[in-house]
Structure 1
C-alpha cells in the first residue's frame, strides 16, 4: 500500500471538520495494522472501487461519536446513538470519503464510493480487503477518529 494514499484522507478531514463546527482539527499518528480487526464503538465502513479498490473504516468510541453527532447537529444534546445521531455519523463518513475521492481525482486516480454502513457494538470483527491496513489517527476538538485505509494491491 502506498502511504501517499493517506494524504487525500488527511486533507479531507482537515477541510470538512471545520465546516461542521470543529475548531481544533489535527492529525495524530500513522500506523499499520493487520487484515483482521477487532473493533468496539461506532464502526462506519465505506467501499471504494475504481482505479483503487478497497475500503475505509472510521472508528469512533461511543461517547466520542455522541460528541461528534452533537456538534454536527448544532450542539443539540445527544444522549444515545438514535437514528438521527447515526444518520449524522453516516453522513460524516460520506462527506469525508467523497472529499477524499475528489482529492484522488485531482491526482488522476478515479474512485467511486459506496453508501456507508454503520455498525456499533463491542468486539466487532472486521476483515479488511488487504493484508496491510494503514491506521490514521485524526483529532477534532480532541475527539479521536481512527481511519483505517485498505486498498487491494
Structure 2
C-alpha cells in the first residue's frame, strides 16, 4: 500500500481526536493485519469507492479511550459502550475518513463514502469487503489506544 494513501488517514485521525477531544495520539509503526479480530471494543467501518480506488477504513477504540473522548467532547460521563458512544464513533469515523478524502482529492484520488457501520463488543470482527492488504496502525494515549485499519484494492 502506498504511503500517500496512509498518511492522510493518520493526519486526519490525529487532528480529529486532538481538536475534538483534546487527546494527543502517538502513532506506532504500521503493520500488516492478517485476521478480522478487532483490537478494541467499539469500531466504525466505512467503505470508499471511486474511479481509481476502492477501499475501506475502520477505526476501533479501547473502551477507556472511547469513554474519555465522549467525556471530553460532550461532557458526558459513561463507563460503557452505550448508544451515545456508538453514535460518537460513527461521527468520528465520518470526520476521519472525510478529512483523509479531502487530502487524497488534492492528489487526484476521488471517492465517495458509504454510511459508517458501528460494531461493538469484546472480540468483535471487522470485515473489509475489499481484496487487498490490510494495514493496522496503533495510536497510543494515556486514556487507551485507537486502532486504524486501512484496506485498498490491489
TM exceeding 0.5: yes
Flag structure 2 segments of 5+ consecutive residues without an equivalent: none
CA offsets 1:56-83 (integer angstroms, 9 cap, x no match): 111112232212222221x321222222
Question: Which stretch has the larger CA shift, 99-108 or 1-10?
Answer: 1-10
Partner of residue 15, structure 2: 15
1:98-137 alignment, distance < 5 Å: 98-128=98-128, 129-137=130-138
CA shift digits 1:104-139 (9 cap, x unpaired): 001111011111110111222333223411111223
1:113 and 1:93, CA in 2 relative to 1: closer, same or farther beyond 3 A?
same
RMSD: 1.8
TM-score w.r.t. the length of structure 1 is 0.87
Contact kept in structure 1, 2:28 and 2:138, CA below 8 Å: yes
CA distance in 1, matches of 2:127, 2:16: 27
Report the 3-state secondary structure (helix = DSSP H, G, I; strand = E; otherwise coil) of the residue aligned with 1:84: helix
Local SS of the residue matching 2:29: strand
Unaligned runs of 5+ in 1: none
Name 2:36's counterpart in structure 1: 37
Equivalent pair of 2:137/2:149 in contact (CA under 8 Å):
yes
TM-score w.r.t. length of structure 2: 0.87
| CA–CA separation in structure 2 for the residues paired with 1:15 and 1:27 | 12
